[in-house]
Amino acid sequence: MKFETQAIHAGQDPDPLTGAVVPPIYQVSTYKQDGVGGTRGGYEYSRTSNPTRKALEECLATLENGAQAFAFASGMAAEDCLLRTLCRPGDHVLIPADAYGGTFRLFDKVLTRWGLSYEAVRQHDPEAVARAAAHRKPTLIWAETPTNPLLSVIDIRALAEVARDNGALLVTDNTFASPYLQQPLDLGADVVVHSTTKYIGGHSDVVGGAVIVKDATHVADLAFNQNATGGVAGPFDAWLTLRGVKTLAVRMDRHSANAALVAEMLTSHPAVSEVFYPGLPGHPGHEIAKAQMRDFGGMVSFRAAAGEDQAVEVCGRTRLFTLGESLGGVESLIEHPARMTHASTSGSPLEVPADLVRLSVGLEDAGDLLEDLREALA
Ligand SMILES: Cc1ncc(COP(=O)(O)O)c(C=O)c1O
């Protein structure tokens, strides 16, 4: 079955009891046992498993071509559980020098205290990653592509080879691309993580996260830790996310088309000094993006030619692009990463330019979006 069909049907057979065509919200904490240990279908307690969450997990595993998915209460809960499953105190990991600020904060402020060390490496240069890996063997390489907020493109196949050569696992944060545009497990990654809050949910109405593994190796450990640490997706959140994912393909097509027009307009705008969008032929990762992505996605960043103050002013001047954190919803958003989503990277190797503006290009009419940006930049 093709992606569009899987998104609507995988894990979502009509309910066996009633025939309901979408999975019901099993808003329940516990399940009657027919005698001690006599569970019906293995359900005993909703932290351990829940039918609505299971439907989402089956769908996400199918869409990423993985063996199994685990749905969490947020992207950060997913990352934390994954890292404390795959790593042990004393282990070393390589992280991107350009990544979501919250991911950096998790490594820098939480997991270092747990005994994990990290090194930030510019991952668009696989040789630099290979040198860092040879210098100090990492347990895993954490990648994000395209990156948040600079839209760097990382060659997943090349990084998977570096990971393999060094006995490390490759984890890829696929939030910006979504499984419709890019399937990292097919390109050699071992694990995919998502903030399903973004394109997978798609409607800015639910926070969630997911881990999808390529094979059975880590399934039992992840299931154990997901239950033991408990940061699971609730039934209603899982249901909202499933409702969103059904339309992922059509939304991503339109996000990509609108973003391409926005990027093109910004490229020739005198108030803009640099545009970051992998679909632009001049983008350093354009050829790799063409090879590993179906299209280039809905995220565009740019630098304000007149500097930080102008960047901040533009963020406050748009009418359609709403000033706010997050991304991937049907409505367009604008933000200033240095003061908002990436404030935690200040003074670190992941610090972002102060004149940077990030756009999440939504599904509104492209002409209206271009006019809004032109007016804000005028
Ligand atoms: C690329 C990326 N990964 C992970 C996360 C964390 O996800 P959540 O906000 O759902 O915890 C985000 C959030 O913005 C993100 O942009």
By alpha-carbon position, which residue is closest to atom 11 of ligand 1? 75
Taking the centre of ligand 1 as the mean of its atom positions, its distance from the CA of residue 76, in whole angstroms, is 6
Instruction: Please give the number of the atom of ligand 1 that sits closest to the Cα of 76.
Output: 11
Separation between Cα atoms, residue 315 and residue 324, nearest integer Å = 9
Which residue's alpha carbon is at the smallest distance from atom 8 of ligand 1?
75
Q: Is 252 exposed, middle or buried (0-12, 13-18, 19+ CB in 10 A)?
A: buried
pLDDT of residue 166: 98
Determine whether the shortest distance from the Cβ of 241 to ligand 1 is under 6 A.
no
The C-alpha atoms of residue 304 and residue 313 are separated, in whole angstroms, by 10
Cα 72 to middle of ligand 1, angstroms: 12
Of residues 3, 296, 329, the one with CA closest to residue 146: 296
- CA–centroid distance, 195 to ligand 1, in Å, is 5
Token readout for 377 is 């930049």
Distance, C-alpha 36 to centroid of its chain? 41
Q: What's the CA-to-centroid distance between 335 and ligand 1, angstroms?
A: 15
CA distance 172 to 274: 26
For residue 31, indicate whether it is catalytic: no
Phi and psi at 327, nearest 5°, equal -170, 170
Indicate the helix (H) or strand (E) that contains 358.
Answer: strand 356-360
Nearest to 302 by CA among 97, 101, 100, 149: 149
Ligand 1 centroid distance, CA of 77 (Å): 10
**Residue 296 in tokens:** 């280039």
Owner of token pair 């960043």: 301
Bond prior to 149 in cis (omega within 30° of 0): yes
Distance 232 CA to ligand 1 centre (A): 16
Q: Is 244 in the pocket of ligand 1 (CB under 6 A)?
A: no
Whole-number Cα distances in Å, 317 to 262, 320, 335:
17, 10, 11
Q: Rounded CA gap, 355 and 272, in Å?
A: 10
User: What integer pLDDT is reported at residue 189 of this predicted model?
Assistant: 98
Are the CB atoms for 238 and 56 separated by under 8 Å? Answer: yes
Ligand 1, atom 9: closest residue by C-alpha: 75
Distance between Cα 67 and ligand 1 center (Å): 23
Q: Is the CB of 142 under 6 A from ligand 1?
A: no
The residue assigned the tokens 């930030």 is: 120
**Mutation to probe ligand 1, out of 83, 145, 153, 198 (largest number of atoms < 8 A from CB):** 198
Residue 125 annotated as catalytic: no
Whether ligand 1 lies within 6 angstroms of the CB of 197 is answered as yes
Catalytic residue among 91, 173, 237, 372: 173
Q: What pLDDT is attached to residue 140? A: 98
For ligand 1, atom 12: residue with the closest CA = 195
Distance from the CA of 262 to the center of ligand 1, in angstroms?
23
Ligand 1 pocket check: which of 107, 175, 181, 333 to mutate, most ligand atoms within 8 Å of Cβ?
175
Rounded distance between C-alpha atoms, residue 336 and residue 359, angstroms: 9
Q: Measured on CA atoms in the order 7, 194, 223, 36, is the torsion positive or negative?
A: negative
DSSP one-letter code for 13: P
Residue tagged active-site, from 54, 198, 214, 251:
198
Nearest CA to ligand 1 atom 7: 75
Question: Would you call 100 a catalytic residue per the annotation?
Answer: yes
C-beta 335 within 6 A of ligand 1: no
Query: Is 47 noted as a catalytic residue in this protein?
Result: yes
Average pLDDT per consecutive 10 residues, the chain (378 residues; last block may be shorter): 98 95 97 95 96 98 98 98 98 96 96 98 96 97 97 98 98 98 98 98 98 96 98 98 98 98 98 98 98 98 98 98 98 98 93 97 98 98
Please report the atom of ligand 1 found closest to the CA of residue 77. Answer: 11
Contact between 113 and 74 (Cβ < 8 Å): no
Listed in order, strand segments (DSSP E) in 59-146 are: 68-72, 92-96, 117-121, 140-144
Amino acid making up residue 131: R
Q: Output 320-324 pairs: Cβ under 8 A, ≥24 positions apart.
A: 320/364, 320/368, 320/369, 320/372, 321/359, 321/369, 321/372, 321/373, 321/376
